[in-house]
Amino acid sequence: MDVIVFIIALFVSGLLVGALARLALPGKDPMGIGRTALIGIAGSFAAGLVSLAIFGEPRSGGIVISVLFATVIVYLVRRSRGGSLTEPGAAPGRGERL
């Protein structure tokens, strides 16, 4: 039961961090709830690793640093779609075929 509660809490916190990261960049991002949560979890994980490298002990990265890292990940997803800082680019699966 504890594992299920942990997974639900991880998803909810990832969703919160990912949503704040998406709000930090102007323009719409064509991604669903699952991808938003995964980006939030990845941003929190990266913030935790950087915090570990800087402080030398396992700590939480903090919500602000987690949102900052998740925002960078959202930006990298935009760039991979051909977008820019203000334009999200093409939605997945809607690009032109050769």
How many domains does the chain divide into?
1
Amino acid at 44: S
Query: Residue 30: its pLDDT value, please?
Result: 82
Query: Residue 85: its pLDDT value, please?
Result: 64
For residue 10, tell me if it sits in a domain: no
Query: Residue 98: its pLDDT value, please?
Result: 42
CA 2 to chain centre: 25
Mean pLDDT, each 10-residue run in order, the chain (98 residues): 89 94 86 92 90 80 89 89 67 53
For residue 17, tell me if it sits in a domain: no
For residue 2, tell me if it sits in a domain: no
**Helix locations, 1-98, DSSP H:** 2-24, 33-55, 63-80
Structural domain range at position 63: 26-87
For residue 9, tell me if it sits in a domain: no
* Cα 38 from Cα 56, distance rounded (Å): 26
Instruction: Specify the pTM.
Output: 0.79
